[in-house]
């Protein structure tokens, strides 16, 4: 297994200086840039849209990991692909036809992710494994940074690790929500290989980002 990759969630960045913040976590060793897109309908918060993703694209060559918490999601997939997303992750509850949504992402030449809310069962990935490049386990209910890690999700991570290994396919197993220096270790031990971290990455100002990322990776 390759070493743990870290995906800072820019939800915890200074939104007034977003380009600079993305450059800072890039330089600090981020593997992916995790971009949380919220619509005030699928989740109770509103963040950013394709125009901001597009504006950030020149600031980093790292993988843009775009987490869509919007419903309906299909009408906006092409916009995020065009804006510079590399991975587009959707929730099965965000549309009636998840298989079609995944195919749409693939047809645009992007990697496709499926995100499971805390109460969404592992079976949501059934019949989709052949097309997924990433599975995202939400260890908080989506909507806000800074929430506490829901430990029951560790069993889900373990079960998904088994399924991914059995599939023989290269699928990222990413965990999102409440990742700190303590919970990172538990998530890695359960089988996660990509950790999203907002609060923990962006704590302490730009000089602290590299140390924060190194500590998360080594947790
Ligand atoms: C929650 C978002 C997360 C969140 C993570 O809806 O998907 O990416 O920003 O933030 P922390 O690491 O602070 O829990
Ligand atoms: Zn996220």
Question: Is 130 exposed, middle or buried, given 0-12, 13-18 or 19+ CB atoms closer than 10 A?
Answer: exposed
Which distant-in-sequence residues (6+ apart) come within 8 Å of 75 by Cβ? Answer: none
| CA neighbor of 10 nearest in space, from 92, 80, 55, 66 | 66
* Domain ranges for the chain: 5-217
Q: What's the whole-number mean pLDDT along residues 140-156?
A: 98
The finding on whether 9 has its CB within 6 A of some atom of ligand 1 is yes
182: left (phi over 0), alpha (psi -120 to 50) or beta: alpha
| 5-217 CATH pick, 2.60.40.2550, 3.20.20.70, 3.10.180.10, 1.10.10.10 | 3.20.20.70
Over residues 156-202, the pLDDT tens digits come to 999 999 999 999 999 999 999 999 999 999 999 999 999 999 999 99
Displacement of CA 85 from its chain's centroid (Å):
12
Residue nearest ligand 1's atom 9 by CA: 145
86 is in an annotated binding site: no
- Who surrounds ion ligand 2 at CB < 5 A? 36, 67, 176
Q: What's the whole-number mean pLDDT along residues 153-157?
A: 98
Provide the pLDDT confidence category of residue 93 given band limits of 50, 70 and 90: very high
Q: State the complex-level ipTM.
A: 0.98
Q: Which atom of ligand 1 sits closest to the CA of residue 179?
A: 12
Which of 65, 140, 182 to mutate to test ligand 1, by most ligand atoms within 8 A of the CB atom?
A: 140
Q: For 148, phi and psi rounded to 5 degrees?
A: -85, 145
Over residues 6-55, the pLDDT tens digits come to 999 999 999 999 999 999 999 999 999 999 999 999 999 999 999 999 99
Q: Identify the H or E element spanning 63.
A: strand 63-69
Q: In the prediction, which pLDDT does 1 show?
A: 52
User: Is residue 176 flagged as an active site residue?
Assistant: yes
Residue nearest ligand 1's atom 4 by CA: 145
Q: Quick check: pTM over 0.95?
A: yes
Token duo for residue 183: 């919970």
Q: Identify the H or E element spanning 89.
A: strand 87-90
């Amino acid at each position: 297994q390759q070493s743990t990759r870290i995906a800072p969630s820019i939800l915890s960045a200074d939104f007034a200086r977003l380009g600079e913040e993305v450059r800072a976590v890039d330089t600090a060793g981020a593997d992916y840039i995790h971009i949380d897109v919220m619509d005030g309908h699928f989740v109770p918060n509103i963040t950013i849209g394709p125009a901001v993703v597009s504006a950030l694209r020149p600031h980093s060559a790292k993988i843009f990991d775009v987490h869509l918490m919007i419903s309906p999601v299909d009408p906006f997939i092409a916009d995020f692909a065009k804006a510079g997303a590399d991975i587009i992750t959707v929730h099965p509850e965000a549309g009636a036809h998840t298989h079609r949504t995944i195919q749409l992402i693939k047809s645009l030449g992007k990697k496709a992710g499926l995100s499971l809310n805390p109460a969404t069962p592992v079976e949501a990935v059934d019949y989709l494994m052949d097309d997924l490049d990433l599975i995202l386990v939400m260890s908080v209910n989506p909507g806000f940074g800074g929430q506490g890690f829901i430990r029951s999700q560790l069993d889900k991570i373990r079960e998904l690790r088994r399924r991914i290994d059995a599939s023989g396919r290269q699928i990222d197993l990413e965990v999102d929500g409440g990742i700190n220096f303590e919970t990172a270790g538990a998530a890695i031990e359960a089988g996660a290989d990509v950790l999203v971290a907002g609060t923990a990455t962006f704590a302490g100002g730009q000089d602290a980002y590299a140390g924060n990322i190194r500590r998360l990776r080594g947790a």
